[in-house]
Amino acid sequence: MDNKNWPLWEVFIRSRQGLDHKHVGSLHATDARMAMENARDVYTRRQEGVSIWVVESKNIHASNPDEAAQFFDPAEDKVYRHPTFYDVPDDIEHM
């Protein structure tokens, strides 16, 4: 088996209940089942997680770095989009 022919997978780990899955890295595997076991062996051996997602890298569509300026810069001066222009009552917590 030639490793070069094995598809690439992206691995997402949730470290604790209630937290989000976070991207931790990638690996090679021939199918989802193998990707899951490889992710377990490679990325959770130091108690990093309680849940794993794997997705084949080709299924992820990334924004184009060349378009970063038109994508993201226009939001720079739109401070009014942040919900910071009203007072939060004192007894509302966790805001």
Partner 1 sequence: MKTDLLNFTLHLADTHLILGQRLGEWCGHNFVLEQDIAMSNIALDLFGQSRSLYQYAAELQGEGKTEDDLAFLRGERQYKNLLLVEQKNGDFAHTLTRQFFYDVFHLLQCEELLKSSDERLRAIAEKSVKEVRYHLTWSSEWVIRLGDGTSESHARMQKAADSLWMWTGEMCTNAPYEEALIKASIAPDNTKFKAQWTAKVQEIFNEATLKVPMTDNQQSGGKSGVHSENLGFILAEMQILQRTYPGLSW
Cα separations in angstroms, 35 against 21, 45, 57, 91, 94: 16, 15, 11, 47, 38
The answer to the question of residue 6 lying near partner 1 (CB under 8 A) is yes
Binding-residue pattern over the window 11 to 30 for partner 1, x denoting contact by CB under 8 A? ----------------xxxx
List binders of partner 1 among 29-88 (CB under 8 A).
29-30, 33-34, 37-38, 40-42, 45
Distance in angstroms (rounded) separating the CA atoms of residues 19 and 79? 28
Please, what is the minimum distance in Å from the beta carbon of residue 1 to partner 1?
7
